[in-house]
Structure 1
Amino acid sequence: MPTALVISAHAADFVWRCGGAIALHAQKGYDVTVVCLSFGERGESAKLWKEPDVTLDKVKKARRREAEAAGKALGVGDMVFFDLGDYPLDLDRDAKFRLVDVIRKVQPKFMLSHSLDDPYNTDHPYATKVALECRMIAQAWGHNPGEKVLGAPQLYLFEPHQSEQCGWKPDTILDITEVWDKKRAAIECMEGQEHLWGYYTNVAENRANQFRRNSGGQAGGRPARYAEAFQSIFPRTVDEL
């Protein structure tokens, strides 16, 4: 069974930014693992913090429930919560080695994480910096000798909230029309960030317009209705992501 790994800074990021890719590849038979480095409890849960008698623990539990429900809707095989805290997100050496262990266990065909820059949320590029560092360590024969080392999976950077401010330039557009209902169901699981539901629906529609254009346009492009875009870090040799 082919595998894929998503490294998400916060508990909702994987839903907005690559939920379609997760659902599509799960439908194709991939075993998809999602690592949430934090719950986004401090910086991405404003609606929850406005509730009466709220506590940090209650917010984290609510975010976990949302993420687990979204993962189920998308067909995620395994959800891993590191619970490292956010705003700021920070991984010490032990946490990085824990992520290396996950990468080696999953042996992903491809990985997904955030853009390399995001002035609005520095947790996001930090997560990708860690993903690249841990990918490198997982490839090292001298790290825990005797374990199966990682090959060379592609790292795709999923779309940031305001791509024009983040130096993010997509080179891969994925048609997610056939699994859009699953992504929309996952989106609606994220009750703490309801203000983003419409935004990311619009993003998917706009990327589908670009998919149609780049797949042949009026001369025979595929009539995609929803799509997601990604930027690859390494040279690609692909039949799918």
Structure 2
Amino acid sequence: MTSDTTNLLIVSAHAADFVWRAGGAAALTTARGGRVTIVCLSYGERGESARYWRQGLDLEQVKAARHREAAAAAEVLGAELRTLDVGDYPIVETDELLDELVRIYREVQPTAVLTHTTVDPWNTDHPLASRLAQKARIIAQAPGYQPGEKVLGAPPVFLFEPHQSEYCEFRPEVLLDITEVWPTKLEAMRCMEGQEHLWDYYTDVAKRRGVQARRNSGPNLGLTTDAMAEAYMRVFPQVADQLA
């Protein structure tokens, strides 16, 4: 994944996932004139909103708070937010949800897709979101599905880093330098007030991946000692005309 990708589609299980894991990629894309569409399958109202439940909010109030946070974060990143509100813990695959994702793929025509890993023993909603995102991509490529619509090409799929990567079979195959937009990502993270405890955690993740990016790039990219980065896995082979 290069930082000048012009049309990203991010499929996020819950309303905050895209911020922690792909906020830098989103900020880079929009800062360079590209488009970012973020699809949140749910608000994470049941499983990832403990702070609001402790405050005595009811379900609809929790969802409203999560929507405000996600909308504010997406605005900071310069991205378009689409919330499907299908519920969480668990997210359930339905024909209607799959059809909606296929429709979004064909409408957006992304040049790259970012989503969760297919393994996460800590949160089964994340692998389900990944499988849905990849299944919808395949269906959107099929000319015989809703004939007459513009079919999808073959956008690469990148899996963003999970919360506990060592348990999720995650390999940091792509290290994306987000140093120039780190202040933007941090501002977006701070919009997620219901999960304030993760602000420092994902700052530390970005620092650690920045160190790895600097060591692996050598002098080629000119990364500084304060580099910040995000890590991704590829699902499909990279097609290139040279090895670099």
Deviation at 1:170, TM superposition (A): 1.5
Q: Which residue of 2 aligns with 1:151?
A: 153
- The change in CA–CA distance for 1:238 and 1:80 in structure 2 (over 3 A counts) is farther
Pairwise CA RMSD of aligned residues? 1.6
Deviation at 1:220, TM superposition (A): 7.9
Alignment of 1:57 with 2:60, yes or no, is yes
- The change in CA–CA distance for 1:31 and 1:168 in structure 2 (over 3 A counts) is same
- The change in CA–CA distance for 1:208 and 1:92 in structure 2 (over 3 A counts) is same
d(CA) in 2 for partners of 1:74 and 1:220?
A: 24
Q: Which residue of 1 aligns with 2:11?
A: 7
Q: Which residue of 1 aligns with 2:223?
A: 222
- The change in CA–CA distance for 1:202 and 1:87 in structure 2 (over 3 A counts) is same
Q: What secondary structure, in the 3-state scheme, does the structure 1 residue paired with 2:152 have? A: coil
Find 2:50's aligned residue among 32, 46, 58.
46
Q: What secondary structure, in the 3-state scheme, does the structure 2 residue paired with 1:83 have? A: coil
What are the Cα deviations for residues 87-144 of structure 1, in whole angstroms up to 9, with x where unaligned?
Answer: 0011210110011000100000000000110000010011000111100100000001
Q: Which residue of 1 aligns with 2:116?
A: 114
What are the Cα deviations for residues 211-230 of structure 1, in whole angstroms up to 9, with x where unaligned?
Answer: 0000017x985225210010
What are the Cα deviations for residues 183-241 of structure 1, in whole angstroms up to 9, with x where unaligned?
Answer: 00000000000010000000000000000000017x985225210010010012379xx
**8 Å Cα contact 1:23-1:182 kept in structure 2:** yes
Alignment of 1:234 with 2:242, yes or no, is no
Q: Which residue of 1 aligns with 2:164?
A: 162
d(CA) in 2 for partners of 1:170 and 1:150?
A: 27
Q: Which residue of 2 aligns with 1:68?
A: 71
**8 Å Cα contact 2:117-2:160 kept in structure 1:** yes
Matches within 5 A, 1:113-152: 113-152=115-154
**8 Å Cα contact 2:20-2:202 kept in structure 1:** yes
- The change in CA–CA distance for 1:158 and 1:238 in structure 2 (over 3 A counts) is farther
User: Which range moves more in the overlay, 7-16 or 91-100?
Assistant: 91-100
Q: What secondary structure, in the 3-state scheme, does the structure 1 residue paired with 2:158 have? A: strand
User: Which range moves more in the overlay, 90-99 or 184-193?
Assistant: 90-99
Q: Which residue of 2 aligns with 1:22?
A: 26
How does the TM-score come out when normalised to structure 1?
0.95
Q: Which residue of 1 aligns with 2:208?
A: 206
d(CA) in 1 for partners of 2:207 and 2:163?
A: 15
Which AA in structure 2 matches 1:75?
G
Deviation at 1:3, TM superposition (A): 1.3
Q: For structure 1, which runs of at least 5 residues remain unmatched after alignment? A: none
d(CA) in 1 for partners of 2:141 and 2:128?
A: 20
d(CA) in 1 for partners of 2:213 and 2:6?
A: 25
**8 Å Cα contact 1:214-1:221 kept in structure 2:** no
Q: For structure 2, which runs of at least 5 residues remain unmatched after alignment? A: none
**8 Å Cα contact 2:158-2:234 kept in structure 1:** yes
Q: What secondary structure, in the 3-state scheme, does the structure 2 residue paired with 1:104 have? A: helix
What are the Cα deviations for residues 45-79 of structure 1, in whole angstroms up to 9, with x where unaligned?
Answer: 00010003x10000000000000000011110x21
Total equivalences in the alignment: 236
How does the TM-score come out when normalised to structure 2?
0.94
